[in-house]
Structures are given as C-alpha cells and as structure tokens.
Structure 1
Amino acid sequence: MRKRTLLSLMALAPVVSACGFRLRGAPSFPFSTLFVRAPEGSPFTREVLRNLATAGGNLTVILPPAKADTAEVTLFLLGERRQRVILAKTASGQVREVELRLFARFKLVDREGRVWIEDTEMQQKREMSFNESLALAKDEEEAALYRNMYSDLAQQLLRRLAAAHAPAAD
C-alpha cells in the first residue's frame, strides 16, 4: 500500500510543478537597509517590525534613534484606523452583523527623497455576527479578527516592499 501511494505521489509531481505552483518563500528586497519611521506603540507597527525581523534575507532594519540617512530607503507608516460598520439589525433594532475594517497607510522613500512607493492605503475587511447576550465572547472574537487583519496587512506590505523598484532617474 505504501509503495502504491509513493508511486502515485511521484506521478503527480510533474503535474503540480507544471501548473506554476510555488511556495512564496522569503521575500527578496531591492535594498539592503531599511529605516522604519512609524508611530510607537501601534499594533500595525509592531506587526510590521515582527514580519521584517522574520523575513530573512539580507535586509537590515534600522530604527530610531538612528538617523534615517544611514539607510537606503525609509518606510513611513503614516497611520492606521479601525472602522466598525453595522450591516444588519433585527426588527427591534438590535445589531446582528457588523463589518470590521482596518486601514493602513505607508510610503517608501530613498535617502535622496525619490519616492519608490507613493502614499498608499491598504485595507482589510471582516464580517462578524453579533449577539448582545454574548458580548464578552464577541469582543474577544473582534480582537482576534483585528489581530488577523494586522498580520495580513503586514504581510501584504512586505510583498509590496519586495516588489518595489527605484524610480527612473530624471
């Protein structure tokens, strides 16, 4: 039985590789030093720094109080905001479904002031059912959804940094 399973998997290997499937792997950045200018204590800042630290590769992250001109590029985390939108109510006016939204803005500039990535806003949305009798559990669910959205935005930001390229010379 094991031999048959192994042979079946070996037969499928060329099909899977031919479809273009490839694991994402560690990002390769077009710069080797990155200065991060971000609001202190922000959950998004913490998540971005955690993802940069675990990204691997040859990237060196520089943080304040060091000077920004010591890095090739500076990542500006310009802000984040949360939004909670009511999607559905009962006939008696009780909230039944909400949409959680998270927005984050950033830009990437090199030491000469050339913009690599313009001021960009990313967003994540999640829908959540709501029940007043389960308010504490729903608060915890909301916090978990926001943590997940912060993580998704940070990973999306790293992919955008890896895809960035120097602006054309004037």
Structure 2
Amino acid sequence: MKRLLTYFLLLTALGLVTACGWQLRGAPSLPDEMSVIYIDTRNPHGRLARELTRLLDSGDARVTRKRDEATAVLRILDTSSQRRVLSVNLAGRPEEIRVIYRVEFDVRSARGETLIERQRMVLNRDISTDPADPLGASQEASRLAQALEEEIVQSVVLRIQALARNLPENDNGPTK
C-alpha cells in the first residue's frame, strides 16, 4: 500500500509539472545565419568563453576559432563581476555581500550586419556571511560568482535563441 501511494504521488507530481508547461531545457537551436559562430571576446580562453562554447556546441550550432569560417560573430563587448558589502557588524566586518555579474553582447553576421542589437544582462545574488570567518565568506562569494557566470551564459544563449526567432527571412527561406 505504501509503495502504491508513493507511485501515485510521483505520478501526480509529474502530471502537475508537465501540465504547467515545464520542460527540461534542450540544446540551443539557432537559425542557419548562426550555424557557425565565432566568439569575439577579450579573453578567449576565459571561463565565460569556454562555457559559451560548450553550450553552443551542444546544440545545432558550431563554434569556430577562425573568424573567416563563421556565419555569425557573438561579440562579448563587456563583462564585469563585483562584490558590494550590504551590511557590516559593529566590528566593521561584512555580514551581507551582493555579488553582481554583468555582460554586454551583440551578434553580427559574417558580413558585419547586426543580427542582434547590443544586449545587457545583469545578475546578482545576496549572501549572508559569518563575520568571524572572512576567508570562508570570500570563498563563498567566489563560488557564487562562478555560479552567476554559468547562469548568465545560459541566459545569453536563451536570449540569442529568442531574438534569433525574430530575424527576417533570408534568401534561403525562413529561419528556424
């Protein structure tokens, strides 16, 4: 009876989740104009570029290291990560920290035409710290910054996917 109840609850939860339209994120799907992407960034070997490459390569696009092979150029125009102290204790040690990650990008065709206008994305999270453990607080803020960077990569790709759907039709027919 307990096993039957467990299966029933599991199926009910699954039904509720699928009924609301929730689904796992699949690999990114981009139009033909973006089938081969060159990532133009100041730090081509940095974590942001590596994560973008990994995510884009998992879909139907291919990231190239040669600009002249590309059908589109994803330009990372600016990135920044910072920490702000939100509150301190009586001894002047931080109790709350805000971690902020910011990226600006656009997408151009191989001919230099703008496919996606300049976009700015900002993510931030607040954390409470233990003022008695400043090293632990610093490590926690660093882990949070990495998590924000991974999240912003996913957000950039999702934004590109969404905006790419609105691209005008090309000579080869409609975009995907």
Q: TM-score category by the smaller chain?
A: 0.7 to 0.9
SS state at 2:96 partner: strand
SS state at 1:142 partner: helix
- Structure 1: tracts of 5 or more residues without a match: none
Query: Which residue does 2:160 correspond to in 1?
Result: 161
Moved segments of 4+, more than 6 Å: none
* TM-score for both structures, normalised by structure 2: 0.78
Query: Which residue does 1:123 correspond to in 2?
Result: 122
Of the candidates 61, 64, 67, which is equivalent to residue 62 of structure 1? Answer: 64
SS state at 2:139 partner: helix
Change in CA separation of 1:27 and 1:93 when aligned onto 2, cut-off 3 Å: same
Is 1:110 aligned with 2:113?
Answer: no
Alignment-mate amino acid for residue 118 of structure 1: E
Q: How does 1:134-145 map to 2 (within 5 A)?
A: 134-145=133-144
Alignment-mate amino acid for residue 75 of structure 2: F
Q: Identity percentage over the alignment?
A: 27
- Structure 2: tracts of 5 or more residues without a match: 170-176
* TM-score for both structures, normalised by structure 1: 0.81
Is 1:18 aligned with 2:19?
Answer: yes
Structure 2 CA distance, aligned partners of 1:12 and 1:128?
31
Query: Which residue does 1:87 correspond to in 2?
Result: 86
Alignment-mate amino acid for residue 39 of structure 2: V
Aligned-pair Cα RMSD in Å: 2.5
Q: Deviations over 1:7-50 (max 9, x none)?
A: 66557765544332322222211132111111224332222223
